[in-house]
């Protein structure tokens, strides 16, 4: 049947399977959730200046989570974070998200986080910026949001990232991270879970 005969074919399949398995493990070791060989973030003994709480109103829909790679913001119940076309991938806002920090080794944490509610003029300016810079926002948010917050985060490397939170309704807002560009693949929904 096969030119190399059945035993040869089985050996070939086995070698390919082993090679693929090794490749998969190599990729998982490079994942940013692993701090690799540069040390792990000690969640029990935070560095001086590391954030331990979030300001209002952010603490209503987000919470701090600690991992070996450092700190990140994740969804807080009763809110769910999700990408527009997916229920499987969990969005998060990690301290290593700024473009300048992403490729640098070692764990990162937040040292500063401010959130402000924008006035009417700020909402207009933010809406225009996001319509111009984020294809995801432009596709999903057709009218001016009823409210908008802008959060600025600074990590332990001194790098910053802005996140816009346009509110569409009482049960729905968006998160548009700008790291520094407001790239469409970073945008996600923040939805209140059904009551």
| Average pLDDT over the chain, rounded to an integer | 82
194: confidence class by pLDDT, cuts 50, 70, 90? confident
pLDDT band at residue 18 under the 50/70/90 scheme: very low
Using pLDDT thresholds of 50, 70 and 90, give the confidence band for residue 38.
Answer: low
- pLDDT at residue 136 is higher than 70: yes
**Beta strand extents in the chain (DSSP E only):** 62-67, 70-75, 79-82, 93-94, 110-117, 147-155, 160-169, 172-178, 188-192
The pLDDT tens digits of the residues spanning 46-105 come to 999 999 999 999 999 999 999 999 999 999 999 999 998 777 888 999 999 998 998 899
- pTM of the complete model: 0.77
pLDDT score at 21 = 32
Asked whether residue 142 carries a pLDDT value surpassing 50, the answer given is yes
Residue 76, classed as helix, strand or coil, is: coil
């Amino acid at each position: 049947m096969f030119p190399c005969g059945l035993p040869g074919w089985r050996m070939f399949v086995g070698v390919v399977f082993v090679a693929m398995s090794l490749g998969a493990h190599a990729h998982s070791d490079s994942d940013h959730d692993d701090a690799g060989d540069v040390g792990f973030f000690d969640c029990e003994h935070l560095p001086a200046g590391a954030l331990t709480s979030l300001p209002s109103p952010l603490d209503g829909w987000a919470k701090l989570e600690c991992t070996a790679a450092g700190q990140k913001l994740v969804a807080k119940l009763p809110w769910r974070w999700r990408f527009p076309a997916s229920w499987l991938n969990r969005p998060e806002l990690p301290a290593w998200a700024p473009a300048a920090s992403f490729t640098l080794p070692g764990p990162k944490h937040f040292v500063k986080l401010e959130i402000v509610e924008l006035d009417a003029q700020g909402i207009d300016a933010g809406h225009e910026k996001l319509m111009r810079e984020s294809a995801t926002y432009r596709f999903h948010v057709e009218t001016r949001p009823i409210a908008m917050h802008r959060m600025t985060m600074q990590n332990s490397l001194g790098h910053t990232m802005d996140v816009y939170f346009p509110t569409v309704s009482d049960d729905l807002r968006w998160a548009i991270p700008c790291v520094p560009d407001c790239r469409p693949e970073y945008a996600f929904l923040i939805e209140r879970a059904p009551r």
